[in-house]
Structure formats: structure tokens, C-alpha cells
Chains A and B, each alone.
Chain A
Amino acid sequence: MTRTGQDGTPPGQAADTLVVGIDVGSTTVKAVVLDPVTRQILWSDYQRHETRQADKTLELLVAIGGAFAEVPRERIRMFITGSGSGPLREPLGAKFVQEVNAVTMAVDHLHPDVRAVIELGGQDAKIIVYQEQQQTGDKRAIASMNDKCASGTGATIDKCLIKAGIEPDEAMRLQWDPSKLHHVAAKCGVFAETDIVNLVKSGIPSNEILCSLADAIVSQNLSVLTRGQTLKPRVLLLGGPNTYLPFLQACWRQRIPEAWVARGFEWPKDVPVEDLIFVPKDAQYYAALGAAIYGLHQPAAVGRYRGLDALRSFIVTGRQAALGAKAGPPLVTDDDELARFRAAYTIPAFADARFAPGQVVRAVIGVDGGSTSSKAVLVDERGELLTKQYQLSKGNPIADTRELLARIRSFVESQGAALEVLGFGATGYAADVLEESLGADVNIVETVAHMMAAVKYCGDVDVICDIGGQDIKVLFMVNGEIRNFRLSNQCSAGNGMLLQAMANQFGLPVTEYADAAFRATLSATFSYGCAVFLDADRVNFQREGYSKDELLAGLAMVLPKNVWQYVVQIPRLAQLGHRYVLQGGTQYNLAALKAQVDYITARVPNASVRVHPHPGEAGAIGAALETLRVVTRRGFSTFIGLDAAIDLHYTTRHDETTTCRFCPNHCGRTFIDTVTPDGRTSRYIAGFSCEKGTVESLDALRALAQQRKALKIRYPNLVDYEARLAFRHFHSAEPPPPEGTIIDAVAVTRTVLGGVRRRAIRRAVRRSSAAAANRRESLRIGIPRVLNLYASAPVFRTYFEALGILDTNIVWSDETSEEMWAEGSRYGSIDPCYPSKVAQAHIHNLLLHKHAKQRLDYIYFPCITHMPTFVAGTQDSTSCPIVAGAPKVMRAAFTKEIDFFARAGVEYVDDAVTLLEPWYFARQMFETWGRRLGVTEDESDHACREGLRALRLFDDEMERRGMEILERLEAEHAVGVLLLGRPYHLDPGLHHGVPDEYQALGYPILTIRSIPKDPGWLARFFEDDLAHGLIASPLSVQDVWPENYSTNSVQKVWAAKFAARHPNLVVLDLSSFKCGHDAPTYGLIDNIINASGTPASALHDIDANKPSGSIRIRVKTYAHTLKRFQEVLADRAAQQGELRRRVDARRRELVAAWRGRLRGEARRNPRARHELSEMESMFQQYLDDDGVAASRDLPVDANRRDVAPPAPVEVLVFHRTRPPEAHR
């Protein structure tokens, strides 16, 4: 608390009228007392409120009362601001001032020369830009605040500090170093945390991680929150993170001037950047001060302070009354219920094993390097757990593991026993680095490890639900095997961490969370959602007056909703089975556990919900069990040894020398080099974005390339092929007919009454002049390689080529990459799905690179409103509204402050077209291009026809390739992966290389376009549906989705139907974050795929950042499933063969019996001998023919319906010379 008089006047001599400004924020309450005459701050203080906003405000007001006892209450006026101020306004008699306005007031008062303010609060980020009216010179403040998704706030930074294992004090000393930055997604706090975890687990030093986070936050705010406006000096930095973190301040000071350079803004170079972009003193009080200053402009009657009584009364009774019926029920209704729950679910204390002195303990070690902590277990040869060790992550997985191993060794040796480590296995985020550095015997994916641990302790179960700090994993089991699984994605991650962070925020150790939550007599009712949304909602509930205990109870109760409604998305839990096992470190929090148990038992009759006896160590136990199996079977271990591991020396390096130079991306890799005490070395490489980054020399790269080439031939990746073919010249268009050629045409005229008359006529073709044609030869047109152009590029390329534009003059932007996005992402004003907002980076690429290299005349980005579809009988064939409208959004982004097109001398063309209506398409294209290219309508129409023809050829080529793969899969009983995605998921920058991961595992990859669409060929897959009249065509989705008007959506749904009916296909389902058109199809595709039992892996909510951790777990888990599926296919093929053989043998037996009878007859009847010899050949022919027929009758897969049912059997008369044709 501070009290300062005017110009150093002692306290007590201030004015007899006071204006108080109070700011009730999401974590603190601040108060400022202002002298209304001098506008000097007389007193200021702030307190963390830990959700007791009213109590803390009371404390501050009591202190103010004490400091200004001489001022009567009637002479005090009060103005309040901040997100938590709502309930306090009325009791205090305070006038509310919105916080951005308050901050603006303070800035206007203290820094009239400031032109931009950046404030990062606990929950929100705000940017205020002052615009000067050119005529009047007036300043107008334009403010923008983050939407719910945006990150870059104090809360995110706090959570990331915990993840990186850095104390706040340390963070405040950290210096900015832009030379070693890694990719961190700052769009959303949860995305950022996921990336931070991956960096931590890859061994990246924490200072590099925090600088990367700062850079990501700054870039995110500059690209989104500025709404495309330039932040001109002086720029004021406000808010906790900006005030306390020097590396964040320095990052602003680097990135903002870079934007000035990019936008051609001239700034005073002679002023130090610290003065141009500065942090003021007492920045934390600006909102409170601004509220008070606002008060100075209000009539004297406004904001009359009512004293403390009403506030006291509100604290005692008002809060509960205000919450009223809105509040949810408590976690426990009475003590008995709690006692019963504790008795049933308190996890029994584990007693470490005891050893006799001199005993040799033979055991394996399993380590789970999780997101926030590492766990290690020691398991003996019989699979029994001897000890378990826990380590909160300190930032480096090798250091964490060494510490854990030392504790295990000490645990055994302190009892006088000796430890013989039989093997070492790892799982979790850190498994890869441990495999390389410690020579782990096993690197097992977490899901499979959890499954093994659950089965070991809980036997036959139906559902395993694991909730860790970052991830939620739910496994659906059948016969002890994973039948299907659901994992949290980027948007549903961080739930365990949220509980921990929330406890921290309230100053509560996480171990006391449950007791606090159980104390609550009501709860805040959260809706499921991502951790960032929940945190924002928490602020809302705080504002409404919920207490800490009630908020903690509410957060525990939303956890099951997040698991079952958000991640699993199966509302009818009972269909999954009734035996549930809960594990993961979060289950130690009994409040979260009780919420889970209550949720499941309320929805599943006869539910048996068990908690794993070692919930936090289940992954490590699974790794140990698998190690035991592998080492026993193999007979030796690859582990470097316990002592060597504990004394392992490691260094991490991330600099120029580690940068990958094998492609222009120049990935900044990190090398983790380890040396054992006996000098053995190993190197783990992290931070690369493709497999080229895994090698260090050109020779190794060549070997890798050869390997890759062989793999590509053996297992084609049609995602890659289609993405390249779409933009390549593959069809040489016919030129328009020469001038004067007589053609059939239609003359359209209006009648007198307004009708339309069309007459067929023959007339001469009209061509443009030679000069116009010559001009076209030199024109260059740039087109962004984005969105539905992945499905329509051949139309536009061919259109232009048919009109004489050289194929080399049709210039596509590069494929999306992280670098492209980082460079060209600062034009945007809104934040839709990544596929559409990345368009700005492509236009930037065309303007700044392609155009700079060789002049472009036009950038063409058509609003494609309708896309043709192969799906039959749809209601319409529309594009997604965002996709169709993106060109207009880009026009706005590139012209609103500076017209970047005009500046570059390029015309931007973005008229709408429909590809569904050939006549109208031709009209639209002529209206757009006729004048610009100097072509006649005849020429343009011809080019449109050629364009649409190219699209058909594109389809044909892809279907031909698809057919080849499908036939081979069937013949070889092999598995192919079908990518269910929208056309632009072919873009490597959007699919993040996920299809390539499966190709590398030995599966060919197909696309929706590559599935043959010939109804005759498809009929065998849809035979039953056709027969039952559910569909009129194999290409219909009417039986599953009548509301089918969106082209890309219906095609996804149809492809899911096809995959469900094709025995050799499995599904990889990609969907982008915020995809509004995929949302309605989630349930449909699930139903289709689940009913048929087709293996499927979905990666939803993909965004700009590559969710490497999420992809890794999915790919590894799915690989496990696919391996099993491949075995099932092989088993089934073998069984089919066995069936064929047995039926054939039985046929021979039956024929032999007939032959025996006939021979007997022939012996009795000599005349029949001749016929008998004829019969022998007929028998043979029957057997031979039926061998063929039989193999046809026994399809490779029971699902196949491509053969005719067995022919009607006829009676064969002995003296006929041939068996009937019907057998053939």
C-alpha cells in the first residue's frame, strides 16, 4: 500500500474530496485514490483476491478509510471497473466504467502522445489504436479485445511456466533471444501448452521455450488483434505479463518495428526503441486510475459512495441469494455420501516391496515421461510392482529420468539388496528421446501401455479412461484388445492441468483440491469446452459471486462432460459396456474421480466403475510389462544399464550447426547428445518437420531418399499425387475455332411482354484481334493454391491456357508451410478456420515472392459458390460459405489500411463463379475476363468447356489410380487408408504430413476423388441397400443424410459409406478447427464407421500448428489397430482358403460316391461301360469347372457381393454328353 501526497505533501493534508477508482480483475483487486483537483494519485494498493473479490475490496476500502479518516463518506465518490466488478457496483454505490475505456482514460491523461496500447491481462488481451482524423486532428481510440479463443494472456503464460518448470522469479530475469525460436501455436492457450509440452519433452532448454512462447504471443496479437492496423509509436505496454517479463517486452520491441518496415511506415530512428515501445511505471493501476479519472468528468451526483455496510451485508447474505436457483448441485449432499464414496474409492496406499539384505532383485523398469510429470516403476519377473516413483517435470526428460532411476537404485540398495535390471521400457511424450539415449528395450505408445496396465489389474474391462495432465485417452475394449479409441485433440486437451492450475490460482495445493470441492454446498455449472473457455467461464462465475470451493466443485463436475461429451462424443454410454476403469494422475483428485463415477453410474445401468490401484503409474506399469515380455522373448536387453543411465552426461544443442539444410525450410533442430560413463555416445534429434531432419549427412539423405522412393512405389500416396496433379498442366486445350467458322448457337431475345425467346441459329465464330492474342501471351496470372482450388484448379488453368495464356504464366502460390504462414499472416482481421485464413499467406506469397520475381498482372481468387459433385440426388452442391467468401475477406484485408495490390501494380480479381451450371459459369467467366483478357464471348465459352473437360480428365486419372490400388488390396488381402477430408486437406501444410506417416508404415493412401465412381463397379458394395430400396444409386447418401447440400460434406459422408463397405479400407478422418460444415457430419461418419466395424482414426480440430504429440499418439495407436486388422484380413483370407479347400474336398467325395455307384452299375451292365468313360470326363469337367465356380462362390470376403448366387442345379441325364452350361 502506498500513500503519497501532492508533490511530496505528507498524508493527511490531501483534499477533502476524494475520487476512488477500483479495478476488480480476474486475479487481483486494485484501488487508487485520486485528488479531484490536482489529479494526483494519493493512495494505491492491490491484492490477489483468490475469488474473494468482495472481501478484498472491503479490506482495501477499510484501509482507504483509515488513511483518509478525515474525509467524510459523503465526500467520497467511487468508480469501479474490471470483469469482477458486477456484483459490487450496487452495494458500493459505485459507477461502472468498462475496463478498456478506463485504461484509455488513464492513457489519455498520462500519455497524450501514445498512439497504441497493448494490454495483456490475466484473461484477455486488448489493443487500442488511436487514429487521427486528418481534417480535425482529433484522436479516436479504436479498441479490440481477444475473442474467446485467442491466447497470449497471463493465464496461458502462467500455465506454460509450470509446464516448463520455471519459477516466476526466474522468468522475470530471462532475456530475449530471437536466435533459437521454436514453433509454438499461440492462437489458443491449450494449443500453446501442447506445443510447450512437446518442446519440454524434446529437451529444449526452458529459456528457448519461453522466448518461443513470447514470440508466438506477440505474433498472434499482431496478426489478429491489431485487425490489420499498424501500431505506430509511441506504443504503450500494459498488463502483468508486459510489465514483469522483460523478454516479452523485448520481443514486442523487435516485432513491432519489423511490421513498420514491412508496411513502409517511417518512424523516428533517432529515438531509442525503448522509448518508442515502453512500459510505464505503475502500469497495474491504469484501469483503476482511469475509472477515477472518468469519475472526474461525471456530475457530482454520480458514483456516491454508500459506505461499507451494504458491502458487508452482500458478503454475508447477498452472494448466496444472488446465485439462487442458477447454481448446480454440490458434489456431495451429506457426510454419509462422502464417507461411502471415500470408503469405496480411496485408492489404497501402496506399500513398497521389502528385500532381504544381500538379495538380488531381478526386475524391469518402466518409465512414463508424461506431460507434466514423469513416473517410473520397478516390476519383478512375475510382473509384480516393487516400487513406484514420481517426479514433477523439471523441464528435461533425461534429467527427470536420471533422478527417477537414482531413486529406484537407492530404494533397493538402501535395503542392502542389489538390483539387476533386466530391461528398460518407456512410454509417453519422452519415450523417443529415452529410447535413443538410454537404449530402451521398448518404446510403447501410451494408449497400449495403459491398456496393458488396466488389463493386468482389472481383468476383462469394456472401457478404459485415462486422464493425464494434458491428454484424455479413452479406449474401448473387446476381448482384451483395443477395438477403438478416442483421444483428446488440441481443443480438448489440458483438462488435468486446468484443475492443477486452478488450484494454484486460488493458492491451494492440488492435494487439497478435493477437500475444498467437497465442502461446497453448491457448484458453478460449467458447460463442456476447451480449457481456455472453461477458464473464461470461471471468470464469469467469479463475477457472479461463486466462491473458490464452488468453482472447484464445478470444474470437477465438468470434467466428465469434457471426457464423454467433448472427447468421446457418445451420449449413450451404456452402448460401450458397463465395466469402466479410470486411471491417470487426475484420479488422485477425489473430487474429479467422484464426478466421473457419478456421471457414469447415472447413465449406465449396472455400471462397475473401478479406479486403477496405480492410476498415475498405469503407463509406466504398461511399459514395464511390455519390457518384460520383449526381453524374456528376445533373451537380452538393449538398455545401457542402470549406473550408466544415472551417470549419463547429456548436452542439448540448438544453433546454426544443428539447422537442417536439406530443404529451404531450414528447420531449427535440437541435438541431444548423450555420453555414458564408459564413453558410448548417442544423438537424439528433435525439432524437424519431415524425415529429412532425421539425418545429418548427404549420404544418409541419399539412402533415405532411396528408401522413400521404394516405399512410394510400393505404397502409393494418392493424397500427394492428387495435390500435385491438380495444379499441373496435364491437358492441352483445343484452341477456339478460327474466325468465321460456322457453329450452332442460340439467339436469346426479350419479347414485348417481357418473355424470353431462344432460337437455334447458325452463325460465324467471333474471335478477338491478333493484337489482343499477342498481349495475352505475355500476361501472367497468379492464383493462390488454397481451398476449393484443390478441386477446381484444372478448370481455371485450362481456361486460361485455352485463351492463349502460356502455361508457365499461370503461377500458383507455393504449398502451405509454417514459414509461409509466419511470414504472411499479419493481414487478417478475423479468425476463421485455418484453411481459409491461410489464404492471406498465399496472396502474400504471390505478391511478395512470385510477383517480385516476375511481374504478375492479376491475382485471381474466385469466390466459388458451387462445386459439382458425383454424389447422386443431392439437395444442392454448395461450397462452404467461408470458403466461398474468403476471396472477399482477403480483398478487405489487403486493401483496408494500405492497398497492397495497387501498391504492387497488380489487379486483384475475386468475382463469384459457380462450377455447377455450365451456361451461367460461362457468362460469369466472360463478365470477369472478357474485357481484361480482350477475348470474345465465343472464345471465353470455348475455354470454359475446355476447363470443365479438364476437370473430368482429372477425375478419370485419379479414379484409374485408385482402381489399381483397390484391386491390388483385394488381391493381396492388404489394407489401404482412405483419407476423409475436404479437398484442401491434400495440402501438406494443412494435413501436417499425417497421410505420409501411414504411407511410411506401409499402407497405400487413397483420396475420395480416387475412388472409382462407376455405378456398375460400385453396385457390389451397395447391393443390399439398393435391393432394399434405401438408395436409388450407389452414389447416394439419402439413406444416411437427407440434408445433403454441401458438396465437400456429402462427398465425405459418401466416402465413409464406401469405406464401411470395402473390406480392405480403413479411414483417416481429418477435420480443421472451427470447420462448421464438418461438425454435422461427425455423428454421421461415426455411426457409419462404427456400425461396420471399419477401423478409423480421426484427427479433428487441426490448425496452423502441427500437433506433433497428438499425431504421434494417434499414429502409433492406430498402427497397433491396423496391424491387428491386417492380421484379421490375413486370417480371414486363410479361413476362406480353408473353406474353399474343404468344400472342394467334399465335392470330390460326393462325386466319388457317384462314380462308385456308376462303376457298380457298369459292372452289371456292359453297355454302360462306354457311357461310363464319357461320364469320367464329365465328372472331371464338373470338378474343374466347379473348382472355378466354387472359388467364385466363395468370395474373398464375406462382405463381397460381386458374384452371382449359385446357379440353379439341373438334373443330369446319364447319356447326355456334356454337363449343363449352368454350372459354369
Chain B
Amino acid sequence: MNRTVVDYAAIERELKIFETEERRRLGLDEDVPRHWHDANPRSFTIADRETTTILLGGLTLAHDTLLTGALAGLGYRLQALPCPDTQSLRLGKEFGNRGQCNPTYFTVGNLLKTLTHLRDVDGLSVPDIIRRYVFLTAGACGPCRFGTYVTEYRKALADSGFEGFRVLLFQQQGGLRQATGEASGLEVNPAFFRAALRAAMAGDCLNLAGYRIRPYEVTAGETDAALAECRTWLYDALRRRRSVLMALRRCRRRLNRIVVDRLRPKPKVSIIGEFWAMTTEGDGNYRLQRFLEAEGAEVDIQPVVTWVLYNIWEHQYDTRRRLLLGGADPGRSGLEGKDGRTKLALLWSAEKAVRAVFALYTRAIGLEGYHLPHMDQVATISHQYYDNHLRGGEGHMEVGKLVQTVAHRKAHMVISIKPFGCMPSSGVSDGVQSLITARYPQAIFTAIETTGDGEVNAQSRIQMDLFKARQRAEEEFRRAVRLSGLGAAAPQQRWGRRFRAMHYPPHVVAGTAANQALELGDVAEWTEGATSA
């Protein structure tokens, strides 16, 4: 029997061809939109370690140098970026999003400046740069813009012709988490953290010593020269994985050779604010620390380790608050799938370890009377003004530090420095600080927003308040001299060089010179009615 088959498949096949041609003819094939996805190159393997240089930077000269040494000691090739300057800012602004805060522009621009130098001056090809260098930076999970810096790095690198350049990120709050992919060349393990912390704490100690001595050095430049030597010794100790304590002791001996005169009354200015702006020592904060010293002030800086303690405290607080709930919640702070008790135990150990090592280091370098803040105390005194649940930047710490500084006469003046439009600091803290200054009218508090350009206004405002602080320091000193019975006639000549450089008089009032005078007169109490801060 004849069987005829209607081949519908052939009809459909022919129709498909026909349709494709018709689509083309009608221009419909051009309509398919493309979608953008962010290339996020992160591979850095163990095999790359030998041939790849890790770029890092963004803290102080001491920290960047020592961190480089510490990680070199773990077998990495490292290069610290120079301190970001206004050229970095301009590059950052050219290739970054509009409306970012200036630490983003400075740090992003600083990386671009370095890469451009490698390309245009050192003559490396872009593929070579991408193959031979990676950038290591800290990350965060918000809630302020700090958490999105990596987004900015990627955008700027892509737009400036370095697409594919790798940015490695370690989460400051993520414990040992990392975002560098499997079989990572960067092992963010306990050894890494230990090395980084040792470098950070040694850097803190060096900076703290420097800011204590420099304002009182008799021969200008002597402190900086000594600090440069100390940095080298500490770098070597970290790189060779030798005793940091021994190196710190050697630093103490060297620093003690500096001749100081601590009976020169100087206003003591505590710098608080946004982490980067108060830490950097370059154009990013108009070289604030050096400016203040040039204006005759002693600078009280915040060590990086305080930031580490704050991060530990955040986890402790969040965990404690949730430990006794009827159930576990999801989310970063929720305890779903987590063992709250173990977490608290680990955090307790971490805090104790950090404090213990820091105490050893400060003792070794001879930072007399230096104490890290008690984070629960800071949190408690600030909670009524700045809820402890509010995070981002320094959180409630700025408020707590101001209250403590004023209440305990720790400094004559407090400067809170932050990038223009800094969300936690200028957007919240400054608002709350206006209440604190109303409650503590004796506080001299100056909030400064930096844009990176035009330092005239900022410096002028600082000078405005420094004038008052100076008057207060001088008055305090005069009173201290009277109380100590040293006599009004030029006590400097009689007593000024009695102590070694690393000696720091016990704290009674804000001014170091006044404290020194009180110590000389064996006066430990500040009499009623005497105000210092």
C-alpha cells in the first residue's frame, strides 16, 4: 500500500529559515539587547605568589612599612603605595563615581597613580601589570560607603584601561572569610592575622611615641630621624620573623636619646573622626597632625588597634543581645546556625590577646601610662546619645571619646575630622556632638569636613579654636606651676631636661607641660575650681 507522509518537520524547518531571513529583513534581529555584568577578576593562586607583587597602603607611613615587612615575612612579595596626595585625588575623581567620599577618591586614585607610573614611566605593558601585580585592601559590609570601595576600584580600573586588574579583599568583620576565590594565593589564616596585627600594633606604638616626643624635641627633626631608624629595625624584625619586643626595646633606647623640654605649654589636641581621615598623614586630611604641631600643639592620635577592638566589641554586643532570645534570627547579626556561646568565647579571647600584646608592646617601647579605651564604657556613656545599634564608621565611639576626653580632662581640644558628607560622622555624629557640647560647655570641639581641596577654610577653623585651646593650656600651666611650687621664674631652665624623652608625666590635667610641672612638684590632685578642658 502506498503511504504518503506529510513532513511537518520539514515545513517547520523551512519556516524557521524563512523567519530568520524575515527578521533580518525587517531589522528585528538588531533589537536583542545586551546586558551588562561586572567582570570581577579575583584569581590569585599559590602558584602566582612567587611572581606577583601585592600592593597595599592607606594607613600611616609606619603602618604601611611594617605591614609590608610582616607579610613579606610570610613569604609574599609586597610593595607599599606612597601616601595618597592631591594627584591621587584628581585621578580618583576622574575615574570614580561622582559624590563619593574622598577616602575613596584618594585610595582609588593612589592605586591608579601607581599603575600609571608602572605603565608610563617603568614601561610595563598593561597585561604585564595585570599579571604581576594585585592590590590588597580591607573590606566591610557596610553600612557606610566603606563597604563599596571595591566597587569603586573595579569601576576606576576598568575605565582607566586596567580592566582585569585584581583587587583582593579581606573582610575586616568577616573573621577568616575572604573573597579571593579557592586555592587562594593569599592565605587569610591565623598567621596572616597575627602578622598583620603585630605590624599594626608596632606601628601604633611608634606613632604614639612620635607624637608624644616631637612637640617637645629641643632640636628640630631629631624625632623624625630616630623614628626612621626605628621603622627600619621593626621592619627587619617583622620580615625576618624575629622578636618585635626586642626591636621595640631598641627603639625605646634610641628614642630616649632625643633631648626634650616638656615644660613648654602646648595645647593638647585629640584627633577623632572617620577612620581614614584621622589616620592618614597626607593631603587627605591636609596633613592635619603636622599642621597642628606646626601651630604649636601636641597631637593625641587614635591607634589603629582601637578600631580592631571596636570591631570585636560590635560582635560581642550583638551576640550578647541576641543570646537569650526565644529563637535564632537570620541575617549577619542573627544567631541562626551559629553557636553564640562559642562565638563570645572566641571574641573574649581575641580581645584579651590584643590587649595583652599591645600592653607588652607599649611597655617595651616605653609608652608610660598609655591605656586602650574600655569599649563597654565608651558604649555605655554614649548609648543615650548615640544608640549602640547604630553602626558605620566609628559608630558611637566619637561621641564616647568626646565625653571621656572632656570629663577626664584628656585634651584641651578635640578635632573630629571626616570626609565631606561622611555618613556616620558628619551625618550623625556631628549632630549628636552638638548636644554633647551643650551638655559640656567647657569642651572645645571642632568638626572638620575635608574635600581634599582647599585647606584654607579647614585650617582657619582649626586655628580659631586652637587659639582658645592655647590660652587654656597656658593658663593651666601657670596654675600648675603655682601649685607645684616651682615658682614663676622660667621653670624650663631648671627642670626642663630632667627627664628622658619617653618619660610621660602622669595624667592629672590635659596639658603635658602642666602635668610635668605637677609631677615635679609632687602634686597629684588638681584643686577644685581649676578647669583644664
Interface residues of A (CB under 8 A from B): 83, 86, 96-101, 124, 131, 133, 140, 143, 145, 147-148, 227-228, 525-529, 533, 536-537, 539-540, 543, 561, 565-566, 569, 571-572, 745-746, 748, 750, 754-756, 758, 828-830, 832-833, 836, 863, 865-866, 875-882, 884-886, 888-889, 891-893, 895-897, 910-912, 914, 916-920, 923, 1024-1025, 1030, 1039-1043, 1045-1046, 1057, 1060-1061, 1074-1084, 1087-1088, 1090-1094, 1100-1101, 1132, 1135-1136, 1138-1139, 1142-1143, 1146-1147, 1150-1151, 1154, 1157-1158, 1161, 1165, 1168, 1175, 1182, 1194, 1197-1199, 1206, 1208-1215, 1219-1220, 1223
Contacts and interface: CB of A to CB of B under 8 A. Distances in A.
A1199 B428 contact: no
B326 A745 contact: yes
Contacts of B427: 830, 832-833, 836, 881-882, 885, 889, 1076
B8 to A, nearest CB: 5
Nearest to A1155: B6
A894 to B, nearest CB: 10
Given A533-B454, A916-B330, A1219-B8, A1147 B15 contact: yes
A140 B6 contact: no
A748 B27 CA distance: 68
B451 A892 contact: no
Given A881-B393, A1024-B35, A1043-B147, A746 B435 contact: no
A1074 B422 CA distance: 9
Given A101-B467, A145-B461, 4 more contacts: A565-B98, A746-B326, A1045-B143, A1209-B9
Interface string B58-84: 000000000000000000000000000
A1030 B16 CA distance: 29
B457 A1076 contact: no
The 9 closest A-B pairs by CB, nearest first: A1209-B9, A917-B329, A889-B431, A885-B428, A881-B392, A892-B435, A912-B389, A878-B143, A829-B434
A100 B385 CA distance: 30
Contacts of A148: 420, 449, 451, 454, 457
Interface string B21-57: 0110011110111111110100000000000000000
B333 interface: yes
B98 A1041 contact: no
B144 interface: yes
Given A561-B94, A1093-B33, A1209-B13, A1042 B40 contact: yes
Nearest to B27: A1135
Given A148-B454, A1139-B19, A528 B143 contact: no
A929 to B, nearest CB: 16
Interface string B306-339: 0000000000000001111111111111100000
Contacts of B426: 830, 832
A145 B389 contact: no
A1165 B4 CA distance: 11
A1081 B99 CA distance: 10
B291 to A, nearest CB: 12
A489 to B, nearest CB: 10
A131 B4 contact: no
A1165 B1 CA distance: 10
B32 A911 contact: no
Given A561-B94, A880-B143, A1214 B386 contact: no
B12 interface: yes
Nearest to B2: A1165
A326 B14 CA distance: 72
Contacts of A863: 387, 389-390
Nearest to A918: B329
Contact of A885 (B13, B328, B386): B386
B249 interface: no
B421 A748 contact: no
A748 B325 contact: yes
A754 B341 contact: yes
A919 B327 contact: yes
A1206 B12 CA distance: 9
A692 B464 CA distance: 51
A1198 B460 contact: no
B217 interface: no
A1213 B16 CA distance: 22
Given A528-B93, A829-B431, A1076 B421 contact: yes
Interface stretch (B113-121, B150-158, B185-193, B372-380): B150-158
Nearest to A1144: B15
A1198 B99 contact: no
A1077 B145 contact: yes
Contacts of A1075: 99
B423 interface: yes
Nearest to B422: A1076
A297 B422 CA distance: 39
Contacts of A1146: 14-15, 18
A140 B385 contact: no
A569 B9 CA distance: 53
A1045 to B, nearest CB: 4
A927 B389 CA distance: 14
Contacts of A1142: 18, 22
B83 to A, nearest CB: 16
Residue among A889, A897, A1091 facing the most chain B CB atoms (10 A cut-off): A889
A896 B437 CA distance: 9
Interface residues of B, number: 113
A1161 B94 contact: no
B475 to A, nearest CB: 12
Nearest to B92: A527
Nearest to A1073: B99
B243 interface: no
A226 to B, nearest CB: 11
A540 B452 CA distance: 12
Contact of A133 (B143, B340, B441): B441
A878 B142 contact: yes
B456 A876 contact: no
Interface in B176-233: 179
B12 A1045 contact: no
Interface string B431-446: 1101100110100000
Nearest to B452: A527
A1213 B100 contact: no
A1076 B101 contact: yes
A800 B138 CA distance: 43
A536 B453 CA distance: 9
Nearest to A1143: B19
A896 B438 CA distance: 6
A651 B32 CA distance: 56
B438 A897 contact: yes
Contact of A877 (B10, B40, B331): B331
Contacts of B434: 227-228, 829-830, 892-893, 896
Contacts of B455: 540
A1136 B28 contact: yes
A527 B461 CA distance: 22
B522 interface: no
Contact of B151 (A525, A569, A1043): A1043
Contact of A1139 (B22, B145, B152, B324): B22
Residue among A876, A1061, A1078 facing the most chain B CB atoms (10 A cut-off): A876
A1039 B37 contact: yes
A295 to B, nearest CB: 13
B356 to A, nearest CB: 22
Residue among B15, B18, B145, B423 facing the most chain A CB atoms (10 A cut-off): B423
Nearest to B160: A571
A347 B347 CA distance: 71
Residue among A543, A884, A888, A1136 facing the most chain B CB atoms (10 A cut-off): A888
B143 A881 contact: yes
A756 B143 contact: no
A1039 to B, nearest CB: 5
B201 to A, nearest CB: 28
B341 A756 contact: yes
Given A528-B93, A1076-B145, A1211 B7 contact: yes
